[in-house]
Amino acid sequence: MTARSSLTIVLAAGEGTRMRSSLPKVLHPVAQASLLAHVLGAAPKEASKGTGTSLAVVIGPDHQAVADEARRIRPDALTFVQRERLGTAHAVLAAREAIARGVDDVLVAFGDTPLITPETFERLRAPLAKGAALAVLGFRAADPTGYGRLVVEGDQLVAIREHADASAEERKITLCNAGVMAIDGHRALAILDKIGNVNSKGEYYLPDAVGIARAQGGEAVVIETSEDEVRGINTKAQLAEAEGVMQARLRKAAMEQGVTLIAPETVYLAADTVFGKDVTIEPFVVIGPGVSISDGTVIHSFSHIVQTTLGKNVSIGPYARLRPGTSLGDGARIGNFVETKAATLEAGVKVNHLSYIGDATVGANSNIGAGTITCNYDGFKKHKTVIGQGAFVGTNSSLVAPVRIGNGAYIGSGSVITKDVPDDAMALERNQQTIREGGAARYREMKTGKKEG
């Protein structure tokens, strides 16, 4: 929207003790990505002057995992450690060095607010481009208890009063501080450095930036958004609520793109799912990260799919589990109780029932019979199974890897295949069948004591 440079500072130094988890709060997942990943994904991307980066993440001491996650999502992210938890303004100033390098817009967001959107960041920046010193994201809280209240006069934001410090009159205000703020980068340090800690919590409050900016002659404004977008996560119950909101968004976006969801509320999507045209997803399907689904593909009920690429007109399930590294060519079919992992199945391959295909490639149009297992693990290492094109693997075969089945080869049912099978060869590995005439009748007689016939 703008040629202005930006620096987003994400505060993620929270302990998250109310999550009752050893995992840092911002690493908890919503739609299979961390809270932090969602916030970083929404943050503007144009770099600040002279640094080449536009992102700073403030983490707590001993939270290397949070720094790692930040850099995994945004390799350009700078991380700063806030050694003592002295308040939100103190946390922002942990990134002083990044602000001091010079930037047009400084944006501050909380790492535990995963539902924030890129559009909202842009809306918040707009007043700065028009000369405002500061813009605060506000929302109408159903229950404002605990939030900072936005005190406004006309279209001007006069102050933010923290709940603990607010008067009875101020506590009646329902317009609340969402915690996201945009500050004019050229004035940011002059404002932030003036924030004190004389308040009921003895913390350096970022919201005090409003009164200070005004005292310095700057203008402060409010940009409103919905409460759903700015839910902060402090507990597992709030995490589940955010999941609900995020899933509803992802389902709506998928349907707007033309995906048919028969019972949308039962389908779990990841934030990064890529859909082609005329995709149908039946009830009770879970899609994890890294999945792309091409045109005309149908996913039947109770299937679980992660890091998988599906070609056109593929059919999956019901009850299929596609694990990371699965790739299916056009028209491939995976049926019930089939598991795949690190498997490339070319166009037209059928694995219709009760199989495990792992560390394998299967050539076009091969048919893998019910109960076929690639024995990929010898207890020490994983090995590959390579099956050519147009091969037929009979029911209940074990393919002991490493092993290669040639193009057009035919494996008899129940075989344990330990040696490579050449192109167009037939392989059969099973004991001779024995027949004892009348044997069944004699067996029953022995068991029941009654003579038959």
Rounded to 10 degrees, what is the CA torsion of 113, 118, 121, 125? Answer: 170
Do residues 210 and 136 make contact, with C-beta atoms less than 8 angstroms apart? yes
Name the residue nearer to ligand UD1 (CB basis): 150 or 259.
150
Catalytic site includes residue 163? no
Q: How many residues does the chain have?
A: 453
Find the catalytic residue in 38, 186, 300, 353.
Answer: 353
Q: What letter would DSSP give residue 421?
A: B
The residue range among 33-41, 110-118, 261-269, 330-338 that interacts with ligand UD1, by the rule CB under 6 A, is 110-118
DSSP sequence for 113-167: -TT--HHHHHHHHHHHHTT-SEEEEEEE-SS-TTSPEEEEETTEEEEEE-GGG--
Residue 342 interacts, among Ca ion, ligand UD1, none and using kind-specific CB cut-offs from 5 to 8 Å, with none
Site for ligand UD1 in 129-188 (CB under 6 A): 147-148, 160, 162, 176-179
Site for ligand UD1 in 56-85 (CB under 6 A): 58, 82, 85
Name the residue nearer to ligand UD1 (CB basis): 148 or 394.
148
Name the residue nearer to ligand UD1 (CB basis): 128 or 160.
160
CB of 233 to Ca ion, least distance (A): 8
229 binds ligand UD1 (CB under 6 A): no
Do residues 316 and 335 make contact, with C-beta atoms less than 8 angstroms apart? no
Site string for ligand UD1, 194-213 (x = CB under 6 A): -----------xxx------
CB of 360 to Ca ion, least distance (A): 48
DSSP sequence for 294-352: -TT-EE-TT-EE-SEEE-TT-EE-SSEEE-TTEEE-TT-EEEEEEEEEEEEE-TT-EEE
- State the number of binding residues for Ca ion (CB under 5 A): 1
CB of 399 to ligand UD1, least distance (A): 51
Name the residue nearer to Ca ion (CB basis): 116 or 393.
116
Site for ligand UD1 in 232-291 (CB under 6 A): 232
CB of 187 to ligand UD1, least distance (A): 19
Non-local (6+) Cβ contacts of 320 within 8 A are 300, 303, 304, 305, 334, 335, 336, 337, 338, 339, 340
Name the residue nearer to ligand UD1 (CB basis): 59 or 403.
59
Q: Which residues pair with 387 in a beta bridge?
A: 362, 405
Non-local (6+) Cβ contacts of 164 within 8 A are 199, 200, 201
Which residue in 238, 232, 240, 205 sits closest to 14, CA to CA? 232
Do residues 257 and 275 make contact, with C-beta atoms less than 8 angstroms apart? yes
CB of 209 to Ca ion, least distance (A): 17
Site for Ca ion in 214-233 (CB under 5 A): 232
Which positions lie near Ca ion, rule CB under 5 A? Answer: 232
Catalytic machinery residues: 353
Which residues of the chain form contacts with ligand UD1 (CB under 6 A)?
Answer: 11-14, 58, 82, 85-88, 90-91, 110-112, 147-148, 160, 162, 176-179, 205-207, 232
